[in-house]
Structure 1
Amino acid sequence: MALRERLAAVSGAWRIFEEEAGFSMTPPQARTWSQRGRTPVVRVRGRSRRRISIAAPTCYKPGHRSRLIYRPRRDDGPRDGRKSFSWRDYRDLLIAAHQQLGGLIVLVRDNLNVHKAAGLREFTASREWLTIYYLPPYAPDLNPVEGIWSLLRRGWLSNVAFSTPEHLVQRTRRGLRHIQYRTDLLDGCLAETGQTVRPA
């Protein structure tokens, strides 16, 4: 059965898509306006390998406002053998999502190895409120969170010279907060995948 058909078969549950992305202090470039003959210059203090990772689920349910939940994490040291999110971080994010949404959850995620860690599998198997589906390999076009990352990179993070990791975190949070309150953006990211949330 196709993923869209399986998701449609689950009624009364929040449909959640989850994804993790990394953002570095090297600013993404974007087009901008300037006076003719004056090329805009963004000064950067040097290349930095410091990054932050963000895990974010987008949440959809017929008859409810679409939601975005996110957790940033600085990649400043190994945690459970990983610089980015560990399986415990994903577990805690799922618990927070369940508390905020207060209902059944159908989680759709990619095949990242940490998503299939033994500890996380054990946790999800013991939760009746949680059902998990995995996206096919190399199918980012089916995940609406990819649209969130695109909005963030083309908007709030483009052409910005980050002075410190805190500056990067602050700017990223500001962009995500803006997106959180724009349900039309969240719904648009879902529509880009060819899916919709039909009224109950």
Structure 2
Amino acid sequence: MARKGRRATFEEKVFALRLLEQGMSPDRVAEALGVGRESIFRWKRQARAGGTEALRIKKAPGRPRRLGPGQEQTVQAVVRDVTPRQVLGTAVVLWTRALVAMVISTWFGIGLSVAATGRLLHGLGLSVQRPVYRSPRRDEAAIARWRSTLFPRIRRGARRRGAVVLFADEMSMRVDHRSGTTWGLIGQTPVAHAGAGRRSVKMFSALASDGTLRYRLGHGVMDRWAFLGFCTQLLRTITRPIILIVDGSSIHTARAVRDFTARSGGRLRLFFLPAYAPELNPDEWVNQNIKARAAREAVADEHELAAAMHRGMRRLQKRPDIVRGFFADPHLAYITV
């Protein structure tokens, strides 16, 4: 039964007309459906003019759109492809609703409130997001060539030699590094007691798409000699030839490293990722995972931090499915295709 205070459904309107056709009076039909008598006559007029389809409830048109379709597409393209600095000459590089409203006013002479601008942006399929920062010194052509040509060639060579392809990186984590959230009373910021200071723990790590993971922790300087210590560990624990893919930092390109690989008799070969392209290295996921987990522990000094990092790495070694999952990042699809 229809209830007063709400619209009757399409099916109820059709049913009402059927009752009228069967000889029931409009008053009885209105009473049976719980609607006003005038509604019955209105439905009858609508059906006579446009058929039963005219009885369907139509969505209210809402406010008229202030911008034309072409103007809306221009706004979407501007927010998507350029920065406020390029458009307005400001020092700001991140879009806000107020800045978008300023562009609309300047270009089209249409004044929109901040709230209306937000509704417009949502309607154009845009949302507030944390941007990924990229260096202007990136060579996009070199990155594309790495994905399409260089790495497939490296992978084919590794298969012919029976070598394992490892992606390696290094990171340094300070005792006072903090991240993560916790629960607390509204208006009262929780307090967590942990160590302070700038002492840090260094870590070299390398992983393969099959879930293989190796690492080395240290407290000293992260230089070419520390990197060579990690390479020595890899050669000791992996019997197959190793292809190690790293970035082009001076730690990896030093003469001592080149001499070391030359003396390995082909057991270790280094290849270098394009510059300013960390998203091509799956070892970045290892670093993020360990930093996120270790930062949640209240370590007092660098020794406790090293223990926390060690536990995190041992966990990943026991869960190769998690390590393999790192390669599901769309930026890393080139590795497993």
- Which TM class, normalised by the smaller chain length? 0.7 to 0.9
Within 5 Å, give how 1:5-154 maps onto structure 2.
Answer: 5-10=152-157, 11=159, 12-34=162-184, 36=186, 38-45=188-195, 47-60=196-209, 65-75=210-220, 83-84=221-222, 86-127=223-264, 128-154=266-292
Residues of 2 paired with 1:110 and 1:142: CA distance?
10
- Runs of 5+ in structure 2 lacking a partner? 1-144
Aligned to 1:183: 320
Q: Which amino acid aligns with 2:233?
A: A
Aligned to 1:170: 307
Aligned residues of 1:27 and 1:159 also touching (Cα < 8 A): no
Aligned residues of 1:18 and 1:108 also touching (Cα < 8 A): yes
Residues of 2 paired with 1:33 and 1:14: CA distance?
44
Residues of 2 paired with 1:159 and 1:126: CA distance?
42
Q: 1:158 aligns with which of 295, 313, 335?
A: 295
DSSP-derived class of the 1:19 partner: strand
Q: Which amino acid aligns with 1:53?
A: K
Name the % identity: 25
Residues of 2 paired with 1:14 and 1:31: CA distance?
38
Residues of 2 paired with 1:176 and 1:185: CA distance?
11
CA radius of gyration, larger in: 2
Aligned residues of 1:25 and 1:161 also touching (Cα < 8 A): no
CA 1:161–1:27 in 2, change beyond 3 Å: closer, same or farther? farther
1:29-59 deviation per Cα after TM superposition (whole angstroms, max 9, x unaligned): 21233455553321235x4011111011113
Aligned residues of 1:27 and 1:162 also touching (Cα < 8 A): no
Aligned residues of 1:27 and 1:161 also touching (Cα < 8 A): no
DSSP-derived class of the 1:194 partner: helix
TM-score norm. by structure 1 comes to 0.82
Aligned residues of 1:57 and 1:70 also touching (Cα < 8 A): yes
CA 1:27–1:89 in 2, change beyond 3 Å: closer, same or farther? closer
Residues of 2 paired with 1:184 and 1:34: CA distance?
34
CA 1:195–1:40 in 2, change beyond 3 Å: closer, same or farther? farther
Aligned residues of 2:199 and 2:301 also touching (Cα < 8 A): no
Residues of 2 paired with 1:180 and 1:109: CA distance?
20
Residues of 1 paired with 2:328 and 2:234: CA distance?
22
- Runs of 5+ in structure 1 lacking a partner? 76-82
CA 1:7–1:189 in 2, change beyond 3 Å: closer, same or farther? farther
TM-score norm. by structure 2 comes to 0.51
DSSP-derived class of the 1:121 partner: helix
Q: CA deviation at 1:172?
A: 0.8
Residues of 1 paired with 2:336 and 2:234: CA distance?
19
More helix, by proportion: 2
DSSP-derived class of the 1:70 partner: strand
1:143-180 deviation per Cα after TM superposition (whole angstroms, max 9, x unaligned): 111001111122x2233332121111111101111011
Residues of 2 paired with 1:140 and 1:22: CA distance?
16
1:90-145 deviation per Cα after TM superposition (whole angstroms, max 9, x unaligned): 22322221232211111100111021111111111232122211011111101111
| Paired residue total | 184
